[in-house]
Amino acid sequence: MIKKQVTPSILNVPKDQRVEVINNLIDMGIQWFHYDVMDNKFVPNEAISIDEIKSFKSTCKKHLSDAHLMVNDPFKYAHELKDYVTCLTIHYESFEKEEDIVKFVNEFSHTNWVGIAIKPSTDFNKIQPILYLFDLVLIMSVEPGFGGQQFIEKTYNKLKEIKNFINEEKLPTVIQIDGGINDLNSKKLFEHGSLFNVVGSYLINNLNKETLKKLQ
């Protein structure tokens, strides 16, 4: 059984400090990191590059991770990253045809966990019929693209809806929430069924064991 945990996002850590921050967090007990990958097309920003993620394998202590692919061509990025991350998470909105989502799962699920992310404006019913294909569902609680945004309160309803469905259908899919998480909402999200809380700015701006304790 996987325990509820904070999966830090290092998006807002300056590039030259990322290795040190990851290693410090591992020393504080973090086991799983969330790597934001952007192509400046799906979202108007760039994040952690493929080469940087690859380099973490030798520069950082051993850890698990998910690559949050905010890109128009997830296949290309997934091929590059599959040997370097635990979970490859695609956005539902990156695909025009559902059959390509199924193709993605078929291609990568024998080597990796595969996750599906939805934007705040995308209803759960869009992915409900295909949720059983995924190891993880990533509920965006901010508009993807930037760290440091405010948590969207409507996320709780979506979380409850998805958690109920997972319980009813007895799916093994785990829930991850991403965006605007801090000491005030983290506990409530865990209580409502989140397994992985992605925390970026709040953790990075107060990087110590106390902060981690408050989030867990």
Which residues of the chain form contacts with ligand DX5 (CB under 6 A)?
9, 11-12, 34, 36, 68, 142, 144-149, 178-181, 198-202
Compute the distance between CA of residue 186 and CA of residue 169 in angstroms, rounded to an integer. 26
> Is residue 173 a contact partner of residue 119, using CB atoms and an 8 Å limit?
no
Q: Which is nearer to ligand DX5, 18 or 34 (CB)?
A: 34
Residue 109 Cβ vs Zn ion, minimum distance, rounded to whole Å: 21
Residue 147 Cβ vs Zn ion, minimum distance, rounded to whole Å: 8
Of 8, 76, 77, 44, nearest in space to 143 by CA:
44
Residue 140 Cβ vs ligand DX5, minimum distance, rounded to whole Å: 7
User: Which residue is nearest to ligand DX5, using beta carbons?
Assistant: 200
Residue 163 Cβ vs ligand DX5, minimum distance, rounded to whole Å: 21
Q: Which of the choices Zn ion, ligand DX5, none does residue 199 contact, using the CB cut-off of 5 to 8 A by kind?
A: ligand DX5
Q: Which is nearer to Zn ion, 197 or 210 (CB)?
A: 197
Q: Which is nearer to ligand DX5, 56 or 146 (CB)?
A: 146
- The residues, ordered by sequence, that sit 6+ positions from 121 with a Cβ below 8 Å of its Cβ are none
Q: Which of the choices Zn ion, ligand DX5, none does residue 201 contact, using the CB cut-off of 5 to 8 A by kind?
A: ligand DX5
Please list, residue by residue across 39-72, b when 16 or more beta carbons sit within 10 angstroms of its beta carbon and e when fewer do: beebbeeebbebebbeebeeebeebebbbbbbbb
